């Protein structure tokens, strides 16, 4: 299936600077003129392009239809901040810093903010300030609670040994249970170097659950990775959604050119052996959410082919798809971002297990085939999505950087699309 919809740019209205979000202006002129179908709908920067930018921005449904954007500020020691929108991401209040009971800024990354069943708020994030924690690039994972979303309790340790939960991936189940999917590196190397892209290490995924709103935590009995004739391959940054029958569905990031999945029959205590999905994916995570208005599942992820990965187009295409049968099959493939018009990408053969990476020359490269990639040159690092639903809209944010924005320049981009568009 190939869809190619070209909309010629007839003019861009200026947007007020300040509290109002700014229209992306860092795109190449050619790419800006050749639009995707999704560009009919509102899009802006939540956090504008810059060096030392916050990555993995997350969203939370706030009070009275508000959207809360939660992120960290690299220039302020990773201070965690919150911005509030009352119009589904069109405009934003000035950011405020999350603080502890002594009014000290809370610092960390890999953040999820949750509404607990009691009505209080929960905060999951990674920090190097974990008591008795093992050294590592991102540290361990902790949990705090709050009555107002700004002032937070003392942290409770979830995972000490540089195991982290991807931003936006912790969830509250239909019961009171708080579920935190985690992944970690194992290595002979006790330093942060164990987490580098070429380290001799293995990543695996597992989970923690709490039935008392974060006071105590229980680790799952399963560890998830790909095992093939005693060879082991990474499974990372798990994303989870609760199914209608109470089971949990987990999708996992792999280096094998496709997404993997696992099922829990006991609300996250144990998991099935991971199996390959017939869905092409780069070495990046997805987000899974249930659409309140329809009850269907929405997945957003980097849908990338084997050859694109090997040629350095790792994260240029951010796709979405719908499942009407609780994750058994996926349809309505569409692109939120892409350098081309492909909406369905063929995954590698299921019987071929190989790591797909540019080990010799890793990088993000512009495609040379401008006939196929009609929006190139463009932005190349588009990943780590999150989404909330406000009335009849899906509000999506994701990392948006490098390429024509400039090396090491990143932003957080937002799209607000009608839920009906997801089904077109």
What is the full per-residue pLDDT of the chain (424 aa) written as tens digits?
434 333 333 232 333 323 334 444 444 444 445 789 999 999 999 999 999 999 999 999 998 999 999 999 999 999 999 999 999 999 999 999 999 999 999 999 999 999 999 999 999 999 988 877 766 778 899 999 999 999 999 999 999 988 999 999 999 999 999 999 999 988 888 777 777 767 788 999 999 999 999 999 999 999 999 999 889 999 999 999 999 999 999 999 999 999 999 999 999 999 999 999 999 999 999 999 999 999 999 999 999 999 999 999 999 999 999 999 999 999 999 999 999 999 999 999 988 899 998 878 889 999 999 999 999 999 999 999 999 999 999 999 999 999 999 999 999 999 999 999 999 9
pLDDT for position 33: 58
CATH number at residue 113: 2.120.10.10
Structural domain for 143, as ranges: 54-219
The upper half-sphere exposure of residue 113, i.e. CA atoms within 13 Å in the direction of its Cβ, equals 32
Tokens 């944010």 correspond to what residue? 397
In a domain, 234, yes or no: no
In a domain, 209, yes or no: yes
In a domain, 35, yes or no: no
Give the separation between CA 150 and CA 80, rounded to whole angstroms.
10
State how far the alpha carbon of 121 is from the alpha carbons of 54, 113, 150, 209, 309, in Å: 22, 7, 9, 16, 39
pLDDT for position 15: 30
State how far the alpha carbon of 41 is from the alpha carbons of 124, 218, 294, in Å: 32, 43, 21
In a domain, 334, yes or no: no
Question: Is the CB of residue 15 less than 8 Å from the CB of residue 23?
Answer: yes
Number of domains in the chain: 1
In a domain, 328, yes or no: no
In a domain, 139, yes or no: yes
Give the separation between CA 318 and CA 371, rounded to whole angstroms.
20
Total Cβ atoms within 10 A of residue 25: 12
In a domain, 295, yes or no: no
Instruction: At 15, give phi and psi (nearest 5°).
Output: -125, 145
Q: Global pTM?
A: 0.92
pLDDT for position 197: 67
In a domain, 145, yes or no: yes
Q: How far is CA 404 from the centre of its chain?
A: 22
């Amino acid at each position: 299936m190939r869809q190619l919809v070209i909309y010629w740019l007839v003019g861009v209205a200026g947007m007020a600077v300040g509290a109002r979000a700014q229209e992306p202006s860092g795109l190449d002129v050619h790419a800006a003129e050749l639009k995707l179908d999704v560009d009919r709908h509102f899009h802006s920067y939540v956090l504008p392009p810059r060096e030392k930018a916050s990555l993995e921005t997350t969203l939370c449904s706030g009070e009275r239809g508000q959207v809360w954007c939660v992120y960290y500020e690299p220039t302020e020691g990773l201070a965690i901040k919150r911005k509030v929108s009352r119009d589904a991401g069109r405009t934003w209040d000035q950011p405020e810093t999350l603080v502890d009971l002594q009014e000290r800024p809370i610092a960390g990354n890999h953040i999820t903010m949750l509404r607990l069943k009691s009505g209080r708020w929960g905060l999951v994030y990674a920090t190097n300030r974990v008591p008795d924690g093992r050294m590592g690039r991102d540290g361990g994972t902790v949990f705090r609670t709050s009555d107002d979303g700004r002032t937070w309790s003392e942290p409770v340790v979830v995972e000490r040994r540089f195991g982290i939960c991807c931003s936006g991936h912790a969830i509250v189940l239909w019961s009171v249970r708080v579920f935190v999917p985690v992944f970690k590196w194992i290595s002979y190397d006790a330093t942060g170097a164990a987490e580098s892209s070429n380290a001799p290490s293995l990543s695996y995924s597992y989970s923690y659950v709490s039935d008392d709103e974060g006071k105590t935590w229980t680790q799952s009995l399963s560890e998830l990775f790909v095992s093939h004739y005693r060879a082991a391959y990474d499974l990372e940054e798990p994303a989870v959604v609760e199914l209608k029958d109470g089971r949990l569905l987990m999708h996992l990031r792999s280096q094998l050119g496709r997404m993997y999945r696992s099922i829990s029959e006991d609300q996250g205590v144990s998991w099935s052996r991971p199996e390959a999905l017939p869905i092409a994916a780069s070495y990046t995570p997805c987000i899974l959410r249930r659409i309140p208005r329809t009850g269907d599942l929405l997945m957003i992820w980097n849908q990338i082919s084997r050859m694109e990965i090997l040629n350095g187009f790792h994260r240029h295409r951010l796709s979405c798809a719908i499942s009407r049968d609780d994750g058994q099959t996926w349809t309505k493939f569409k692109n939120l971002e892409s350098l081309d018009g492909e909406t369905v990408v063929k995954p590698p053969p299921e019987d071929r297990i190989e790591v797909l990476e540019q080990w010799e020359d890793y990088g993000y490269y512009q495609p040379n085939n401008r006939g196929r990639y009609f929006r190139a040159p463009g932005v190349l690092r588009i990943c780590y999505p999150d989404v909330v639903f406000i009335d009849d809209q899906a509000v999506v944010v994701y990392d948006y950087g490098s390429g024509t924005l400039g090396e090491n320049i990143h932003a957080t981009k937002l799209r607000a699309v009608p839920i009906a568009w997801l089904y077109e």
